[in-house]
Amino acid sequence: MALLPRLRRFAHGLSRNSADADDLTQATIERALRSREQWQEGTRLDSWSYRIMRNLWIDTARSQSRRAVREAPEEEGLAVGEDPRDAMDAAVDLRRIMSAMSRLPDEQREIVALILVEGFGYREVSEMLGLPIGTVSSRLVRGRTALLAMVGEQ
């Protein structure tokens, strides 16, 4: 299975819009190629690549998205008011969900993306991020609860 499409999906889980997500994906590929000697045979390539992406996001994209959130409150207000039942088109819903996820605190957003979108287990995420499993679990509870409140399922 090719890893690139999955990394792109993860980038969308972290980023505020598709353009930022593809920039992040490209930066991740470049970083991974430059540091490929550091990857250890026998360890999972996907976890290693996801970790590179997450660290890059922390370094750069995260501060950009913070700025973007402050600069674009109106657009978000519009998205929140729409009825999710009208959102038959996945692309429309994707934008709404990305917007909601971008308002989660970063440490919750990355865990929601890794577990609920990418399908990793708690233990895998705990190892990937170097966090105690209890921390992963509690951030996931807060993140998904806030997300549900924002995208409002009836």
Partner 1 sequence: MTDDEKFFAWLDGELAPEDAAEMDARVAADPELARLAEQHRKLGNRLSAAFDPIAQAPVPEQLVAAARPSGHVIDFEAAKRARGIPSFPQWTALAATLAVGIFVGTIVQQRGSTPIEVQGGKIYAAAALNRALDTQLASAPSGDVRIGVTFRDRTGEICRTFTETASSGLACRSNGRWRVNGLFASPEGQASDYRMAGGMDPNLAALMDSTIAGEPFDAAAEKAAKAGGWK
Residues in touch with partner 1 (CB under 8 A)? 1-9, 12-13, 22, 25-26, 29-30, 32-33, 36, 39, 41-42, 45, 84, 90-91, 93-94, 97-98, 115-117, 121-122, 134, 137-138, 140-141, 144, 147-148, 151, 153
Residue 82 CA to chain centroid, in angstroms? 22
Tell me the closest approach of the beta carbon of residue 123 to partner 1, in angstroms: 8
Tell me the closest approach of the beta carbon of residue 65 to partner 1, in angstroms: 17
Tell me the closest approach of the beta carbon of residue 71 to partner 1, in angstroms: 24
Tell me the closest approach of the beta carbon of residue 16 to partner 1, in angstroms: 14
- Pick between residue 19 and residue 71 the one whose CB is nearest to partner 1: 19
